[in-house]
Amino acid sequence: MIIVMKAGVSPEQLAQVTKRVESLGLKPHVIEGTERTVVAVVGAEQDATVSGMETLPGVAKVLPILAPYKVASREVQPEQTVITAGPLVIGGGRVGVIAGPCSVESREQILASARAVKAAGAAGLRGGAFKPRTSPYSFQGLKEEGLRLLAEAREETGQAVVTEVVAPEDVPLVARYADVLQIGARNMQNYRLLEAVGRCDKAVLLKRGPAATVDEMLLAAEYILDGGNRQVMLCERGIRTFESHTRFTLPLATVPWLQARTHLPVVIDPSHGTGHANLVPSMAAAAVAAGADGLIIEVHPDPANAASDGAQTLDFTVFEQTMDTCRRVAQAVGRRMA
Amino acid sequence: MIIVMKAGVSPEQLAQVTKRVESLGLKPHVIEGTERTVVAVVGAEQDATVSGMETLPGVAKVLPILAPYKVASREVQPEQTVITAGPLVIGGGRVGVIAGPCSVESREQILASARAVKAAGAAGLRGGAFKPRTSPYSFQGLKEEGLRLLAEAREETGQAVVTEVVAPEDVPLVARYADVLQIGARNMQNYRLLEAVGRCDKAVLLKRGPAATVDEMLLAAEYILDGGNRQVMLCERGIRTFESHTRFTLPLATVPWLQARTHLPVVIDPSHGTGHANLVPSMAAAAVAAGADGLIIEVHPDPANAASDGAQTLDFTVFEQTMDTCRRVAQAVGRRMA
Amino acid sequence: MIIVMKAGVSPEQLAQVTKRVESLGLKPHVIEGTERTVVAVVGAEQDATVSGMETLPGVAKVLPILAPYKVASREVQPEQTVITAGPLVIGGGRVGVIAGPCSVESREQILASARAVKAAGAAGLRGGAFKPRTSPYSFQGLKEEGLRLLAEAREETGQAVVTEVVAPEDVPLVARYADVLQIGARNMQNYRLLEAVGRCDKAVLLKRGPAATVDEMLLAAEYILDGGNRQVMLCERGIRTFESHTRFTLPLATVPWLQARTHLPVVIDPSHGTGHANLVPSMAAAAVAAGADGLIIEVHPDPANAASDGAQTLDFTVFEQTMDTCRRVAQAVGRRMA
Amino acid sequence: MIIVMKAGVSPEQLAQVTKRVESLGLKPHVIEGTERTVVAVVGAEQDATVSGMETLPGVAKVLPILAPYKVASREVQPEQTVITAGPLVIGGGRVGVIAGPCSVESREQILASARAVKAAGAAGLRGGAFKPRTSPYSFQGLKEEGLRLLAEAREETGQAVVTEVVAPEDVPLVARYADVLQIGARNMQNYRLLEAVGRCDKAVLLKRGPAATVDEMLLAAEYILDGGNRQVMLCERGIRTFESHTRFTLPLATVPWLQARTHLPVVIDPSHGTGHANLVPSMAAAAVAAGADGLIIEVHPDPANAASDGAQTLDFTVFEQTMDTCRRVAQAVGRRMA
């Protein structure tokens, strides 16, 4: 860390800081600038010491230097992680697509969706069985019955099933049916849940919380990796900003930024990222052009009657057109869609 | 809901919309404006129908009318809820104060803190035993041992113990020791946890998530209330904005806005809300002036050596001065600090 | 506008509202819902009446219905505006590219830049002569000398010159040299400046302010259009959000959203939109995939020594590669780069 | 500045960086950490060099150390600037209040407002004559006639007139009538305008732009100070965030943060800061408790019929009550309202 002292710091204040640094087993380098004195600290910095150091007299601010994540870092593993779940491949120059309804609503609905999105090229089938809903009065999902229907669809189409798990105690149940466990945006920092999927042998799709920094997302991944599960993909699904014409603001620069710093593949969710079906096709194409390793898209036989998220859901026809465009864009940027 | 049609909507499109409205058991009122036709819908609107309606041809946008929360609303219960936990009273013209360290670190630390904050006027003692931490490599709390130390402090000082619970399965354990269960900002939309504390007989302090709207906070409270627990206080602790000179941006207008819409009392956390100890006293006073029903403040015998959140933690002396100022401000706005 | 009344509104309060509506020459439609009464108002709503109506007793909230912009709207002009300035064409299925240094620094620098970006396919040459700088101590641009150098470069390469004008009194001078006048993000709501370029016969590139909503951007354009100048292109260059790993957050969903509502073409600035050169190529490609009508990119012979914005500036080699990729992506989405 | 090198940086890359630092007349200190090498640079850092340095091979990031403002800094002038304009005093333990309508609409309206707000204790009278409006179709103000009416009101009440100037060419005219020139939020980075008021002998109230950082606000002030005008007060009026229940989010922590770093006094605008009249009284009181040196509040004889900003405007009765509360709060925090 770098400790920037206030102008006019006294020798006693400076001595107190360097003493504190040394008491932590770290080595202080004092550099007297023309306008400021800074103390560069060599050694493993930690949250608590960085935070506490700020309260010492004469300290103006403390700048951390090291990225706080480790196992997720490209420095630790230079080659990209490739996630494989049945026919679904995410990473390694392949753009994997996961599609399907927000919620599993019925046998007919999920089977029709699975067939249609498979025909259009989606190797993964999404569908929520356990639905975390903002309001306690909204549809909460079919629960285990929903999982059973997803498994039935997989039997027919062979797709990988991607579905959300919302609590640690549900992990064994959901893992019995799913190929990929999704951690939703609201649960990105539900550490017990992260630990539970970290002990599991299924791939994990970790969604970014709408107010989470990229470092916080990587640290959430670190909880899973630290538990022993290395099959983690990161999903950008939009952040909360002042914009209200979209549901969230989808920052695609997350893709190249993450890819430079982590070996974990990056998936984009243009459905939640925009909130409006008419914006999804362009943003799906843009995500592929930005280098995304995967897409997750909401598709429903009849969006106007969907039990949840209808406004941002594509029908089969538009999804198929979107896939065609994405396939051409993938090729244009040297990638391949299954 | 109000359905705004596009300019040049066709009679067929309009008919499709009104038919859909009727099929939901609702009543459409078509109003032909000079530039737009709108359909005002009478009856109980629901998330899913509002969302799906947007995808119908000819629809420009859909505006919800009703507030989505019910039990939390002032319309349902006009008089304010007053939370009482031992000597701690939040609401009803009283400003209750909860203070103590971010984490329980040791017997000496928590006892010294309890004595000091009690002497300064805090009827509630805070202290984290189960710590949700951004990094898996940070101090995670003393867990049950921390709870025991809090209870020991209560035995001496008589304060109400306020501590965080991070998972549904921990609720019985934490409720055995605590007087008030805190739901942290990261868990504001952990619905299983909300349901678990909703079935519990201890008061709950629900922190606003850093990207949560006020409606989402009220709906999170609704999960707890809906479970039968009516002892809920709402805590504003700052939101994520572009500002980086503070850890979060603390929007005190939340206080009068919430108080006009809900009977639940409102607590302000100026420690997390600013992230820097030197900003806490002013913002504590401002919170009281804004009409807050309570304050929760981080205080530690030696902030520079705190195991977590040192930068935003007050020492005993500054806390005491802060309380003196807050007491005078409370009086100036017609409120009373215990 | 829709006026939503509070629960329990009295007949007198309702009468006061409808009377006020009628006094404004508008027609109120009272709709008694099951939980709320709303007043739908037919006629031309205006800012001031919408705002003032909120203060009447019994009013819960007021929802505007009409988009506030007129001339910029697709409803007024369904076919897209195509901007032509010399060889530069923006709109109509063509993706026009404007490139060059942040600031004009010297004859050599701007000539070298013009040649290189032209060779790579940029029909427009950017370069700042009047530089609005956050600090009064930063380089403020070469002013008229910079304009002269830009004109000299144009003589050689034939490109369209795009340069910023920062004050109404400079419009005649800058218009003498430039082909496209740029209104910078900080000046998006400098109405005198908008009016001045509105009276001018040069095309205008209007940058979105970092905290401006899309409606505010369209209303800023409306100032220019209202002055008689119809050659306006809108430029998304990123918004201020909590993200700090990029300089701004670049929301590409702006492209399809705007294109559905306005006939004005949309240009993306991936340089300011990210702030880091290594993120620019991906976001340029993503912008083209999202359907952008143009790109504006910072390019410099030696970014590390640029007088401004070095961190986000491409060198010639990377720019050329970026153009190659963008050309392929344009084709993939049915567009054409000059 | 501190230059953080990438892990695995080569000696050649490091040498290139130190050579570049030296070529700028600065002194590099290389510190080899356990995980990272950093180069601490001694000497006057500048925007351009900080920015360009990032593009050198092997550089991970560049951290600026020095605050970019100078004349505004407490280090340059430790004692607070006190602004005096007629009876209005801002700073030095006094809380000055400026109140009046958003726009000057008529002789009756402004005279009635002036009398009422003076009677309630406002030493400053606000009123817009030149109105920067989001839409070209909104009321644009009475212009010079408005200024004349303000001057007439001053003749009667003796208050200081505070009014906005929107363009450099208007400065002489507005300065002829006004005691304090207001720079609106949209013009915070209109540098020509800042320079123009910097050459003027009237006090300036500089409003923070809704997306401006506190450093950017201080640098805008620096433009005025650098021009020779030292009578500058800073005004926090709310920032753009994801919150939509208020017009802007009013971050009162700006008050103590600024007061620690600059000698310029800080004024709070709770009207724009909330956008809703019913939130203004609490936030005015909170601002005073937070230590604000002044308040600027919108007051109108009939808010429901105001030509602009009606929703956030107080009537005379509520303003008077607000002033009473603020007076008591000021006393509680050791300040004095005139």
Model pLDDT for residues A104-153, shown as the tens digit of each residue: 999 999 999 999 999 999 999 999 999 988 888 888 899 999 999 999 99
Mean pLDDT computed over D56-79: 90
Mean pLDDT computed over C163-192: 97
Model pLDDT for residues C263-278, shown as the tens digit of each residue: 999 999 999 999 999 9
| The two structure tokens encoding residue C166 | 């920062």
Q: What is the DSSP string of A15-48?
A: HHHHHHHHHTT-EEEEEE-SS-EEEEEES---HH
Tell me if C125 sits within 8 A of C113, measured CB to CB: yes
D336: closest CA of chain C, how far (Å) = 31
Interface probe with B: pick from C1, C2, C243, most Cβ of B within 10 Å: C2
- Residues of chain B with pLDDT below 50 are none
CB-CB neighbors (< 8 A) of B223 in chain A: 136
β-partners of residue A251 are C251
Tell me if A171 sits within 8 A of A181, measured CB to CB: yes
| The two structure tokens encoding residue D249 | 């989010």
* SS3 category, A228: coil
Q: What is the pLDDT of residue C45?
A: 74
**H or E element: which one contains D38?**
strand D37-42
> HSE of B261 in the Cβ direction (CA atoms, 13 Å)?
23
C-alpha separations of C70 from B135, C226, C263, D135 in Å: 51, 9, 11, 10
What whole-number distance in Å separates Cα of residue B24 and Cα of residue A69? 50
Tell me if B247 sits within 8 A of B276, measured CB to CB: yes
**B2-63: CATH class:** alpha beta
Tell me if D85 sits within 8 A of D177, measured CB to CB: no
What whole-number distance in Å separates Cα of residue C21 and Cα of residue A65? 60
Tell me if A171 sits within 8 A of A163, measured CB to CB: no
Average pLDDT, chain C: 95
Lowest-confidence range among A64-78, C185-199, C267-281, D268-282? A64-78
* SS3 category, A238: coil
- Predicted ipTM of the assembly: 0.95
Residue A187 neighbours by CB under 8 Å, 6+ apart = A132, A166, A193, B189, B190
What whole-number distance in Å separates Cα of residue B248 and Cα of residue B238? 5
D7: closest CA of chain A, how far (Å) = 7
C-beta atoms of C288 and A291 within 8 A = no
Q: In which band, very low, low, confident or very high, does the pLDDT at D258 lie, cut at 50, 70 and 90?
A: very high
C-beta atoms of B253 and D285 within 8 A = no
Q: Of the candidates B169, B189, B306, which has its C-beta nearest A132's C-beta?
A: B189
B30-59 residues touching A, CB cutoff 8 A: 46-48, 51-56
**H or E element: which one contains A144?**
helix A144-157
Burial of A169 (0-12, 13-18, 19+ CB in 10 A): middle
What whole-number distance in Å separates Cα of residue A39 and Cα of residue C44? 63
C-beta atoms of C289 and A289 within 8 A = yes
CA-nearest residue to B2 within chain C is C2
Q: In which band, very low, low, confident or very high, does the pLDDT at C239 lie, cut at 50, 70 and 90?
A: very high
Alpha helix (H) ranges present in chain C?
11-23, 47-53, 107-120, 144-157, 171-177, 191-198, 214-226, 254-261, 270-274, 280-289, 316-332
Q: In which band, very low, low, confident or very high, does the pLDDT at A24 lie, cut at 50, 70 and 90?
A: confident
* SS3 category, C314: strand
Question: Reading across the β-sheet that carries D37-42, which strands appear in turn?
Answer: D27-32, D37-42, D2-5, D59-63
Mean pLDDT computed over A269-292: 98
State the virtual CA torsion across A165, A171, A173, A175 in degrees, nearest 10: 80
C20 at interface of D, judged by CB pairs closer than 8 A: yes
| The two structure tokens encoding residue D141 | 């103000």
Q: What is the pLDDT of residue D279?
A: 98
Model pLDDT for residues C278-313, shown as the tens digit of each residue: 999 999 999 999 999 999 999 999 999 999 999 999
Q: What is the pLDDT of residue C48?
A: 72
Q: What is the pLDDT of residue B89?
A: 97
> HSE of D305 in the Cβ direction (CA atoms, 13 Å)?
8
Mean pLDDT computed over C62-91: 93
From the candidate CATH numbers 3.90.1150.10, 2.40.30.10, 3.30.470.20, 3.20.20.70, the one assigned to the domain spanning B83-337: 3.20.20.70
Tell me if A99 sits within 8 A of A116, measured CB to CB: no
Burial of A296 (0-12, 13-18, 19+ CB in 10 A): buried
Tell me if B333 sits within 8 A of D329, measured CB to CB: yes
Q: Looking at chain A, which subunits does it touch, using at least 3 CB pairs closer than 8 Å as the criterion? A: B, C, D
- What is the residue type of D242? F
Mean pLDDT computed over A165-182: 97
What whole-number distance in Å separates Cα of residue D23 and Cα of residue D52? 13
Give the strand pairing for A59-63 and A2-5: antiparallel
CB-CB neighbors (< 8 A) of B169 in chain A: 168-169
Model pLDDT for residues D197-220, shown as the tens digit of each residue: 999 999 999 999 999 999 999 999
**pLDDT over threshold 90, residue D51:** no
**pLDDT over threshold 90, residue C333:** yes
- Per the rule left: phi > 0, alpha: psi between -120 and 50, beta: everything else, A337 is beta
What whole-number distance in Å separates Cα of residue B159 and Cα of residue B137? 32
CB-CB neighbors (< 8 A) of B240 in chain C: 242
Longest dimension (CA), chain C: 76
Going by the DSSP 8-state scheme, the letter that residue A200 receives in this structure is S
**H or E element: which one contains D160?**
strand D160-164
**pLDDT over threshold 80, residue C338:** no
Q: Where are the beta strands (DSSP E) in C46-109?
A: 59-63, 83-85, 88-90, 94-100
**H or E element: which one contains B63?**
strand B59-63
Of B214, B158, B157, B220, residue with least CA distance to B204: B220
β-partners of residue D97 are D295
Model pLDDT for residues C123-175, shown as the tens digit of each residue: 999 999 999 888 888 888 999 999 999 999 999 999 999 999 999 999 999 99
Q: What is the pLDDT of residue A234?
A: 98
Q: In which band, very low, low, confident or very high, does the pLDDT at A252 lie, cut at 50, 70 and 90?
A: very high
| The two structure tokens encoding residue D105 | 């609409």
CA-nearest residue to D3 within chain A is A65
CA-nearest residue to C29 within chain B is B31
Residue C3 neighbours by CB under 8 Å, 6+ apart = C17, C21, C38, C39, C40, C41, C53, C59, C62, C63
Distance of CA A257 to the CA centre of its chain: 13
CA-nearest residue to D291 within chain B is B282
What whole-number distance in Å separates Cα of residue C61 and Cα of residue C3? 6
C-beta atoms of D282 and B255 within 8 A = yes
Q: Which residue has the tokens 């897209």?
A: C80
Q: Which residue has the tokens 């994801």?
A: D242
C-alpha separations of C51 from C63, D142, D269, D282, D311 in Å: 10, 20, 18, 20, 5
What whole-number distance in Å separates Cα of residue A120 and Cα of residue A324? 8
CB-CB neighbors (< 8 A) of D318 in chain B: none
Residue B302 neighbours by CB under 8 Å, 6+ apart = B315
The answer to whether domain D2-63 and domain D83-337 are alike in fold is no
B77-116 residues touching A, CB cutoff 8 A: none
| The two structure tokens encoding residue D201 | 């002998």
Q: What is the pLDDT of residue D80?
A: 97
Give the strand pairing for B37-42 and B59-63: unpaired
Q: What is the pLDDT of residue D134?
A: 87
Q: In which band, very low, low, confident or very high, does the pLDDT at D49 lie, cut at 50, 70 and 90?
A: confident
C-beta atoms of C333 and A331 within 8 A = no
Question: Taking the domains of chain A in order of start, what are their residue ranges?
Answer: 2-63, 83-337
Average pLDDT, chain D: 95
Model pLDDT for residues D311-329, shown as the tens digit of each residue: 999 999 999 999 999 999 9
Lowest-confidence range among A306-320, C244-258, D66-80, D189-203? D66-80
D65: closest CA of chain A, how far (Å) = 7
C-beta atoms of C308 and D210 within 8 A = no
**pLDDT over threshold 80, residue C192:** yes
* B and D: number of Cβ contacts within 8 A: 132
CB-CB neighbors (< 8 A) of C138 in chain D: 46-48
Q: What is the pLDDT of residue D19?
A: 93
